[in-house]
Chain A
C-alpha cells in the first residue's frame, strides 16, 4: 500500500492499540505493557537505521498478532477468563430482568388505570381485546432490543471472523451478554409454563385450594423474579468485577 502521507508513530500505535483493546482477554495493564514493548522495539530498530514505517512494521511483527497474544493470556489465566465470561453473562441477564420488571409494572399500572378511568372497557369482553393487544405491545417493546442485540452480534461475529479467522465464540462480551439474557428468559418461560394456574387465576377471586396454592406460588415467583434475581445478579457482578492487579497502572 503506497501512501504519500508522512508516518506518524502515535497514530500507528493508537491504531495498533485499538486492535489490542478489542481483545477482551487483555487487561489495560497488559495492553500498556505491550505498548511499552512495541515502542522500545521501535526505538531500537530506528537506531539500527530503519526508516520509521519499516521500524514500526518490524516491531509490530515481533510483538505478534493481537488475537494470538490474547489467546495465550486467556490460557495463562483461565480463572480471569471465566470470571469475565460470567460477569458479562450476568450483566446481560440483569439488564433483561430489570427491563422486564419495569415493563411488568408498566402493564399492571396501565390495567389499573383502565379499571379506574374507563370501567366500561374493563369488562370480560374487553379483556379479549386488551390483553392480546397488551401482549403484542409487550412482545414488540420487549422483543425489539433482544432482536436488535442478536442482529448486532451476528453482524459483529461475521466481521470478527473475517478479521481474525479463528475467533472464539465466547470471546465477545456481547455474545456472553446475549447468552445471559436468553438464560434468564428461558428460566422465566419455564416459570410461566410450570405455573399456569397462578398466572391465569390469581386475580379473578375464584378461590379454592389450587387457586390459593397457585396464588401463593405466583406471589413467591413474582418476588423471586422482581427482587431476588436482580439482587443476586448484581451481587454476582460485583463479586466478578474485573480486578485491577495490585500496583498495575493503566495508560490512558
Chain B
C-alpha cells in the first residue's frame, strides 16, 4: 500500500498517463489505476476530482459532459497539447527517480 504522500504525488502523472491512452471519465480512470496497480494504489476516489480540476485549470486536460445511453450524464476528460508536453516532463522525472533507485537496488533500469 502506498503512503498518502506518494499517492498524492503520483496522482498527476497517473491521470495524465491514463488519459494519454485515450479520453476517459472519472470512474473508469480510477478503476484503470486500481487494476494496473493490483490494488496497491488505493485512492479515495473523491480525491481524484480535485486533481482533475487542477489539471484542467492548468490547461493540461479538457472536459466535456456527454449523455449516455442510460440517460445519465458523464464528464469525459482528454489530454490537451500542453498535457502531452507536461506528461513528457513528468515521465522524465519519474524515470530519473526510478532509474536511480533501480541501480541502488540492483534492479534492471527502465528504458526511456
Binding site for B on A (CB under 8 A): 29-30, 32-34, 36-37, 39-41, 44, 62-66, 68-69, 72-73, 75-77, 247-249, 251
Asked if A36 meets B72 with Cβ closer than 8 Å, knowing A76-B50, A77-B54, the reply is yes
Closest 6 A/B residue pairs (Cβ): A64-B44, A64-B46, A76-B50, A69-B46, A72-B50, A40-B27
User: How many pairs of residues, A versus B, come closer than 8 Å at their CB atoms?
Assistant: 70
Partner of A33, one of B26, B51, B57, B64: B26
Asked if A247 meets B64 with Cβ closer than 8 Å, knowing A37-B27, A69-B49, A72-B50, the reply is yes
Task: Please give, as numbers and ranges, the residues of chain A lying within 8 Å of B54 by CB-CB distance.
Answer: 76-77
* Contact between chains at A36 and B47 (CB < 8 Å): no
* Contact between chains at B65 and A248 (CB < 8 Å): yes
B96 to chain A, nearest CB (A): 27
**B45 an interface residue at 8 Å Cβ cutoff?**
yes
**B85 an interface residue at 8 Å Cβ cutoff?**
no
How large, as a class, is the contact surface on chain B? 20 to 34
* Contact between chains at A37 and B73 (CB < 8 Å): no
Task: Please give, as numbers and ranges, the residues of chain B lying within 8 Å of A249 by CB-CB distance.
Answer: 65, 73
**B91 an interface residue at 8 Å Cβ cutoff?**
no
Complex: A249 Cα to B25 Cα, angstroms: 15
Residue with the greatest number of chain B CB neighbours at <10 A, chosen from A30, A33, A39, A73: A33
**Interface CB pairs A-B, < 8 A, 10:** A30-B49, A37-B26, A40-B27, A41-B45, A44-B31, A63-B45, A68-B46, A73-B50, A247-B64, A249-B73
Task: Please give, as numbers and ranges, the residues of chain B lying within 8 Å of A75 by CB-CB distance.
Answer: 50
Binding site for A on B (CB under 8 A): 25-27, 30-31, 44-47, 49-51, 53-54, 57, 63-65, 72-75
Task: Please give, as numbers and ranges, the residues of chain B lying within 8 Å of A64 by CB-CB distance.
Answer: 44-47
Complex: A100 Cα to B109 Cα, angstroms: 73
Task: Please give, as numbers and ranges, the residues of chain B lying within 8 Å of A251 by CB-CB distance.
Answer: 73
Asked if A63 meets B73 with Cβ closer than 8 Å, knowing A37-B27, A73-B53, A247-B63, the reply is no
Complex: A62 Cα to B47 Cα, angstroms: 10
* Contact between chains at A77 and B53 (CB < 8 Å): yes
Complex: A219 Cα to B82 Cα, angstroms: 57
Partner of A32, one of B30, B44, B73: B73
* Contact between chains at B75 and A33 (CB < 8 Å): yes
B48 to chain A, nearest CB (A): 8
Task: Please give, as numbers and ranges, the residues of chain B lying within 8 Å of A248 by CB-CB distance.
Answer: 65
* Contact between chains at B49 and A73 (CB < 8 Å): yes
A112 to chain B, nearest CB (A): 56
* Contact between chains at A69 and B50 (CB < 8 Å): yes
